[in-house]
Structure 1
Amino acid sequence: MKKHISIIGVPMDLGQSRRGVDMGPSAIRYAGVVERLEKLDYEIHDKGDIEIGRPGKEEEDSDGNLKYLKAVSKASEELAVAVNKVVESGSFPLILGGDHSIAIGTLAGVSKHYKNLGVIWYDAHGDLNTCETSPSGNIHGMPLAVSIGVGHSELTNIANYIPKVKPENIVIIGARSLDEGEKELIREKGIKVYTMHEIDRLGMTKVMEESVAYLKDKTDGVHLSLDLDGLDPSDAPGVGTPVLGGISYRESHLAMEILEESKLITSAEFVEVNPILDERNKTATVAVALMGSLFGEKLL
């Protein structure tokens, strides 16, 4: 990994229906992310936050079943530009969410710099819905579909190229809540998924080693998109869509440590921290601790 890290906050809450996740970047900063990474001898450049506008009520269902489409699209374009500049500067992009719709902009900014970008999607959900399959119309359930070129053209065309990532270059880890349309898309596209069944059966070490081996030879960079709801709600209560039976705090540290040892990760985002639903900023603190492991923090 590079020794320079550039942080971009995206206080976005329009991709889902529970308010509060827009305060996620502030909560993560308050939990000491800059200080934690500086202790690991990284030079940190905090670029501040992407400005997210507040659309009127009449814009909520701006295109059928897609809530806040225009606002999410605009923020994605701005984030793509900001992330692109970070990558061009040679710094490691670390994006703080905000809801998971921000991954649309992150991947649009990152992927143009790689011929075969890989993605590790650490999440309880597949985020592979479209406007046709989504039960809610919330765009935070669609960013991975959008990034493989499936979905509304206003989202898939962010940064003017499609797709951002090939389905065979994706690994989803921690899935335990998939809609029927997502299951169909996973089968159709051949996306590699480790559900909680595989994690329990194989163990996190095996899952991560297999994921690294799967991506190592066919990608020239790997983006980590970590949704805090991938963890069990007992460890990360401050998320908008908690699902019981998730990955433990200890397993998540192990996963980050294995990724650090692999030297594969070239960009990362941590999303869906919602301080309103949290307990004394516990989830943001967990996010920062996991970042520590991802960037090389060791006990001894």
Structure 2
Amino acid sequence: MNKSVAIIGVPSDYGQTRRGVDMGPSAIRYAGVIERLEALGYTVKDEGDIRVEKTPIKKEQNEKLLNLDEVVEVCSKLAQKVEDAVNEEYIPLVLGGDHSIAIGTLAGLKKYKNLGVIWFDAHADINTPESTPSGNIHGMPLAVSLGLGHERLTSIHHDGPKVKAENIIIIGARSVDEGERELIKEKNIKVYTMHEVDRLGMTAVMEDALRYLQERGVDGVHLSLDLDGLDPLYTPGVGTPVAGGITYRESHLAMEMLQEANVLTSVEFVEVNPILDEKNKTANVAVALIGSLFGETLV
């Protein structure tokens, strides 16, 4: 694994309506992410936080695409930061912020022509403006990255889809909207719901997922980890918690197996909301998982 990491903070909460997730990057830094990586022998370049303008909530806006202007601006800035990090041969480690920022992260990974994506999340995040029940863009990043949705989102940084449907793997899903189910079936997207995780075990899920991406000849793998992928018992500080999630140990096992596979080329951790948290517990879990992902072992 590349031993140079560029940390990019994205203090944006425009992809949803619960305030506080914009403080996620600060909480993760406070939990010691830089020190953890440096102790593992990584060269860490902290790029700081992308400047996110705070604007008043608009009284009149598209209810199917809330805060569209702000999300486009944030993701456009992020895409350029991610592309620069990749070109300078750093692993981008993006700290959110809500999950709408993944639109920018994936747009910035255009160096990889056959990118694989592992989406560790309680939700599928593959709604479109036609299917969304909320209008929150943090429920749309996978659809946007497939080229589905508003043109201002799908054209961020460069035109066209940012990832192929057959190169996406969703792990830990347990709250999927009806429109998302239809799109997942239509695009034949690989999903391991909590049913599969419970039935097969995390070891088998990760072995199968890694084999699946290898068979497709991906030239890079991006991990997008939403902290609500874990059970809220372990990560209470998230905006959309869903009971019955992945355990703390299962999550570490998944990260350890990704590290052993030596395939990751970019990473993002999102949806840490300190306002909803308990003594920074969720950010501490995020940093512990980052430790496992980057090679930390028990002995």
Aligned to 2:203, the other structure's residue is in SS state helix
1:97 — aligned with what? Answer: 96
> Is the CA contact 1:20–1:276 (under 8 Å) kept in the aligned structure 2?
yes
Shift in Å, 1:54: 1.8
Q: Deviations over 1:23-56 (max 9, x none)?
A: 0000000000000000000000000001111223
- The amino acid across from 1:191 in the alignment is I
How do residues 246-265 of structure 1 correspond to structure 2 at under 5 angstroms?
A: 246-265=245-264
Runs of 4 or more consecutive aligned structure 1 residues displaced over 2 Å after TM superposition: 55-58, 60-64
> Is the CA contact 1:177–1:243 (under 8 Å) kept in the aligned structure 2?
yes
How do residues 285-296 of structure 1 correspond to structure 2 at under 5 angstroms?
A: 285-296=284-295
Structure 1: distance between partners of 2:275 and 2:41: 32
> Is the CA contact 1:61–1:68 (under 8 Å) kept in the aligned structure 2?
no
Structure 1: distance between partners of 2:51 and 2:102: 16
- The amino acid across from 1:99 in the alignment is D
Structure 2: distance between partners of 1:61 and 1:264: 45
- The amino acid across from 2:57 in the alignment is K
1:135 — aligned with what? Answer: 133
Between the two proteins, what is the percent identity of the paired residues? 67
Structure 2: distance between partners of 1:146 and 1:65: 14
2:191 — aligned with what? Answer: 193
Shift in Å, 1:162: 1.2
Deviates more, 1:49-58 or 1:198-207: 49-58
1:156 — aligned with what? Answer: 154
Structure 1: runs of 5+ lacking an equivalent = none
2:31 — aligned with what? Answer: 31
> Is the CA contact 1:62–1:70 (under 8 Å) kept in the aligned structure 2?
no
Q: Deviations over 1:192-218 (max 9, x none)?
A: 000000000000000000000000132
Structure 1: distance between partners of 2:185 and 2:162: 19
Correspondence 1:18 to 2:18:
yes
> Is the CA contact 1:61–1:67 (under 8 Å) kept in the aligned structure 2?
no
> Is the CA contact 1:13–1:99 (under 8 Å) kept in the aligned structure 2?
yes
2:276 — aligned with what? Answer: 277
Correspondence 1:106 to 2:75:
no
Structure 1: distance between partners of 2:132 and 2:6: 33
Structure 1: distance between partners of 2:184 and 2:57: 34
- The amino acid across from 2:248 in the alignment is Y
Q: Deviations over 1:68-91 (max 9, x none)?
A: 000100110000001100000001
TM-score, normalised relative to structure 1: 0.98
Structure 2: distance between partners of 1:238 and 1:64: 26
Structure 2: distance between partners of 1:180 and 1:151: 17
> Is the CA contact 1:55–1:68 (under 8 Å) kept in the aligned structure 2?
no
Structure 2: distance between partners of 1:141 and 1:217: 29
Shift in Å, 1:160: 1.9
Aligned to 1:158, the other structure's residue is in SS state coil
Correspondence 1:4 to 2:19:
no
Q: Deviations over 1:226-279 (max 9, x none)?
A: 000000000000000000000000000000000000111110000000000000
Q: Deviations over 1:108-154 (max 9, x none)?
A: 001x1011000000000000001111111000000000001111110
> Is the CA contact 1:119–1:223 (under 8 Å) kept in the aligned structure 2?
yes
- The amino acid across from 1:243 in the alignment is V
TM-score, normalised relative to structure 2: 0.98
Structure 2: distance between partners of 1:184 and 1:192: 13
Structure 2: runs of 5+ lacking an equivalent = none
Structure 2: distance between partners of 1:53 and 1:177: 31
User: Are residues 88 and 134 of structure 1, via their aligned partners in 2, closer, same or farther at CA, if it must alter by over 3 Å?
Assistant: same
Shift in Å, 1:291: 0.3
2:240 — aligned with what? Answer: 241
1:266 — aligned with what? Answer: 265
User: Are residues 266 and 64 of structure 1, via their aligned partners in 2, closer, same or farther at CA, if it must alter by over 3 Å?
Assistant: same
- The amino acid across from 2:214 in the alignment is K
2:124 — aligned with what? Answer: 126
Aligned to 1:57, the other structure's residue is in SS state coil
1:55 — aligned with what? Answer: 55
**158, 169, 172: which one aligns with 1:171:** 169
Q: Deviations over 1:84-112 (max 9, x none)?
A: 000000010000000000000000001x1
> Is the CA contact 1:100–1:272 (under 8 Å) kept in the aligned structure 2?
yes
How many residue pairs match? The answer is 298
2:227 — aligned with what? Answer: 228
